[in-house]
Amino acid sequence: MAISTQRASTSAPSASPWKYHVFLSFRGIDTRRRFTSHLCHRLWFRSITTFRDDNELVRGTAISPNLLRAIEESRIAIVILSPNYASSSWCLDEVSKIVECKDVDTILPIFYDVDPTDVRKQEGTFAEAFNKHKKNFKKDKAKVQRWRAALTKVSNISGWISKDRDESELINEIVEEVCNKVHPTIFTLPGSSTKLVGIDFRLKKIELLLDREAKDVRFIGIWGDGGTGKTTIASLVYDRISHHFDVSYFLPNVREVYAAHGLIHLQKRLLSPILKERVNEVWDVHSGATMTKYCLCNKKVLLVIDDADQLNQLEVLAGKKDWFGLGSRIIITTRQEHLLIEHDIEERYELLGLQDSEDFLPHKRDEPEGDLNLQLPKKLPNSIEDRKDESQRKYDEPTKVQSKNDEQVGKVPNAVEDCVNMDSPPKVKVCVGCKQNIKDRKYYRNGKGTHQWHPHCFRCHACNLPITEFLMHENHPYHRLCHRERHLRCGVCENLIPLNSDGTVVYSLHPISLQRSCPKHEDDGTPRCCGCARIKPRNTIYYLLNDGRHQCLECRDTAITEADQCEALFLEIQKVFDLKFQEKKFLIHFVEKTEFLKVSEHILLSGKPPEVTAIKILSGLPRLRTGLTMVRTTMGAWLEVKCYRIGNMSPQVKIDMSQVLAHMWLEFVMNSGSAFEKKLGNFYQRRIESDSGEGFRLGRKAVLKHGLRQTLDHIAMTGSLPLVD
């Protein structure tokens, strides 16, 4: 009896030339009850249709025509080569047929308790088996030779060796490889290699919203008018990714079923395939919701609720995120966006329709066939500017902290019409996209007329797909979602930065790394680097110091972590500025954060006139920041000792001169460091300049005019900065 296994699930039907995903060739006495059985179960669990022949007890000498046909109708063949595999003529016929009709990349060999060399050279148990075959098939030596050749070819294909491997781990690895091969990518039609330009773009947007690598539970809403392709898109997504989930279910026609049968019927339809049995225990909506949560709360779920039109449908079929296990994705299609908003679904995608036939076919160019060899650049070097009156245009400002992301900035049809050159065209106009002369009177050009494009060469700067409605960013056009994905995705949690109710996007921008982040991360406890203040991105390693502070790897590379490093840096600073202010030596306390905060004063003084006994320096900071702290502290110590007799000296002078020397220190050292140190130094310099007042600027002018030594001597005598013209 030939058995095929397929996991029950609901999805959109898809045409395919393959009846089975996998044909399994194995020797029953070696692997049927253990390895093969477990492998089949895992394939079934991942929605892989598998043909496995279990009729070995009544096998004859000739292979069944059904098996030959099953091999031809299977997309992939898994060959489990075990010690007794070659003793079965039936197995050898199977592998010969597999080699005959399958490409190398669709044959997956597993060397189960055998050495690939024994299979390749027919040694060991394989030699014993072929000695018997030579006797039994004296009149058909060609068949034996085909068997040998087939085994040799299969053994030369990269596969898996079971020796010293955990069997469960091995099976999971095989299943993942099979899933990657048999499930088409999200961007192709079932059973077709045709790439869909219009659908391709929409599916990319959905995939970005799904973010399957994230471990959270995520609800995604697809909304738009009837007939715009919401169900088609959801079905394609479901077909392509359902094998990645523990439980997957597509619940179609919710609006119609609800109107005809009510909520309880919908709950039963959802639960029956999950429990793999008819559900009769749902007596009311509450019991159905409770059972749904109970069944799914610890599973990674893909659930598509198609064509919802009532809020209560969402509440009882997919109530809250805690109904589902980590990694779950819930996709809801509807005509009404307000349902998604009321159900707190943040990731929403408006589907505008698939009206034109070009949405379903590869993009065609208007040039003669000979021009098709020209390669369009992936990114346009420049972009058009809509020549409408400024008062009628709304441009995105992504460099600002508040960004009007979802405004409709321009439409290509209008831009085309406005860019028609009604005057006599120049002799040569070259499209910056395809580098060909523009001969048509309709073309795009930028505001200054320095760049022109064919209409079909005007494409999104991010995805390189044709563009109609666009946003402009740094003189490049973007689809709205492409722009948000590229420029408005949080660098910490990697989610899209949420929109405010007025359509603006507010985010925090790190001044060194230019990392954008959701405002919530400012106070949600996410670790922050103690050196550059960058919030820790997800999946990024930060070094944890003994006192609980965190440090990014860039800052860690130049961090001062040892006392001798600190002393060497202090001597370097003394040499640069010659700030010797007492004969008696003092200590440098290189301390952690808890010790550093015990005393508010970091210059420890004693006696009259004052003497510096110690300077406290916080450990674990980057070299530049440690040097800044040391320069400021040393300058403060110098002023404390030299100016103690000046009773009316303003404390602001100490602050200003400390900032002046810190700025000078950065200029002296940062250009000799790494690229990151240069950025860090520039950041510290800008911060000093912005945080300081007029006294800092007067101090810099005084040092530039009189020199550092004369400026400090004047302060030591008068308690004030020298005059500057």
Active-site positions?
Answer: 94
Q: Which residues pair with 96 in a beta bridge?
A: none
How many whole angstroms separate alpha carbon 209 and alpha carbon 481? 10
How many whole angstroms separate alpha carbon 204 and alpha carbon 210? 10
Rounded to the nearest angstrom, the gap between the alpha carbon of residue 334 and the centroid of all alpha carbons in its chain is 27
Instruction: Quickly list DSSP for 54-77.
Output: --GGG--SS--HHHHHHHHTEEEE
Pairing type for strands 587-591 and 611-618 reads parallel
Q: Give the residue carrying structure tokens 């010969």.
A: 96
Instruction: Quickly list DSSP for 408-474.
Output: --EEHHHHHHHT---SPPPS--BBTTT--B--SS--EE-TTSS-EE-GGG-B-TTT--B-SEEEEET
CB count in 10 Å sphere of residue 600: 5
How many whole angstroms separate alpha carbon 579 and alpha carbon 586? 14
The amino acid at residue 43 is L
Extract long-range pairs of 188-195: CB within 8 Å, 24+ residues apart: 190/14, 190/15, 190/16, 190/239, 191/14, 191/15, 191/16, 191/17, 194/361, 194/362, 195/362
How many whole angstroms separate alpha carbon 256 and alpha carbon 672? 70
Phi, psi of 267 (to 5 degrees): -65, -40
Nearest alpha carbon to residue 218 among 116, 326, 63: 326
CB count in 10 Å sphere of residue 456: 16
Instruction: Enumerate residues 6+ apart whose C-beta is below 8 A from 476.
Output: 379, 380, 382, 383, 461
Q: Which residues pair with 611 in a beta bridge?
A: 606
